Amino acid sequence: MLKRGLKIALVQLAVGPDKAKNIAEAVKQIHKAKKKGAQLVALPECFNSPYGTKYFNEYAEEVPSGETSKALSKAAAEAGICVVGGTMPERSGNKLYNTCTVWDGSGKLLARHRKMHLFDIDIPNKITFMESEVLSAGDELTTFEYQDIKIGVGVCYDLRFYESAHLMAKQGCSILIYPAAFNMTTGPRHWELLARARANDLQLWVALVSPARDENFSYVAWGHTTVVDPWGSVVQQLDEKPGVLIADIDLKVVEEVRSQIPIRSQRRTDIYDTIIKTK
């Protein structure tokens, strides 16, 4: 155990159409990560279902009463570690959300993040995708504390919006975790670039957790689960195949970067600022 940090495991799962099988594999990987010394394990976006607007309604369930939530809660409690439960399609009333749940070592629901920025893009002859046809957007930033470390959570497209990441850093986060499923068009261009940009600009650790690539699905994930340090350097990265990335998140590096390049105290908040709007 790091004195000033956390050992994390990022699980790049192979996700298929069988929901029960997806959940069982996630639980298996949580326990394997625990045996390797992980204190926190994170799963990818849509880990219990294929990613696509045609799947969300079929696979959706309520949080925390649904089968996926119950399985994650039980696994977190049995393993005694924090679980950032990727995302699942969440049903709430007549709305559907793309939701990340976070469970502490006792199985308690620590946080729930509903994807704030819906993935609506149109790149001619490449990819067109409209999450808003089916999903509703969340309207809250999400942070939580585990073992006295403040951690922020976003989902996939949220990564592109600097302001939300800046506000989580402003609230004291040393790590930002993004369950995400970039595709074969945006992944090669922007996956690593955005992770490094957020880490460098905000002087913190950034972890991106993708599902493994499956060429048989209509939406093909880029993979390449990645950890970037506060200097903006890629510390570890997987390829496109199923796998687990285990990394030591050293908070001394956060302190080191922030003291040597003190941009936080040098921001000209007399001229500009980034704020949370009250509802």
- The catalytic site residues sit at 45, 115, 156
DSSP string, 142-190: EEEEETTEEEEE--GGGGG-HHHHHHHHHTT-SEEEEE---BTTHHHHH
Farthest CA pair distance, the chain? 54
140 CB neighbour count, 10 Å cutoff:
12
| C-alpha atoms less than 13 angstroms from C-alpha of 161 in its C-beta half-sphere | 17
Buried b (16+ CB within 10 A) or exposed e, 100-128: bbbbbbebebbbbbbbbbbbeeeeeeeee
Can you say how many angstroms the Cα of residue 116 is from the centroid of all Cα atoms in its chain?
Answer: 13
Cα 225 from Cα 243, distance rounded (Å): 9
Report which secondary-structure segment, H or E, holds 83.
Answer: strand 82-84
